[in-house]
Amino acid sequence: MFSLTTRILVVDDSNIYREAMKQLLTELGYTQTVEADDGTTALEVLTDARQTIGLVISDWHMKQMSGMDLLLKVREDENLKKMPFLLVTTEDQMNEVLRRSPLASAITS
């Protein structure tokens, strides 16, 4: 689905998890990653005309701006709304994920 040269934005407030995700992507053959330490920084990267991002992989739980808030802002932006976006979490209970999601009704209907 994605070319191995797709520029992927990895968003996580944990440097360890960002590095682990970037390492995994490298092992899968992806050669271009960009990183952001929270949703606010990620939004700046996404709206920077010099950056061409093809996929966002974002942690759900971050302090400055959560991954869910970032996703909602991306979907509201006319230029970004079709951006492929993968939201990841360490939550192990689907009910907890759905309970916290403002998109829960759309996901479950």
pLDDT in tens, 30-75: 999 999 999 999 999 999 977 899 999 999 888 889 898 999 999 9
CA distance 71 to 86: 9
Q: What is the pTM of this model?
A: 0.83
* Res 2: pLDDT: 86
Residue 1, domain member (yes or no): no
Is 62 part of any domain? yes
Please check whether residue 2 lies inside any domain of the structure. no
- Lookup: tokens for 14: 């944990």
pLDDT by residue (tens digit) across 74-108? 999 999 999 999 988 876 555 555 555 555 444 44
Angstrom distance (rounded) from CA 38 to CA 99? 22
Residue of higher predicted confidence among 100 and 9: 9
What does the buried/exposed string (b/e) look like for 6-34 if buried means 16 or more CB atoms within 10 Å of the residue's CB? bbbbbbbbeeeebeebbeebeeeebeebb
Q: How confident is the model at residue 3 (pLDDT cuts 50, 70, 90)?
A: very high
Domain boundaries, position 73: 7-108
pLDDT at 105: 46
The answer to the question of residue 70 being in a domain is yes
pLDDT of residue 92: 59
CATH number at residue 54: 3.40.50.2300
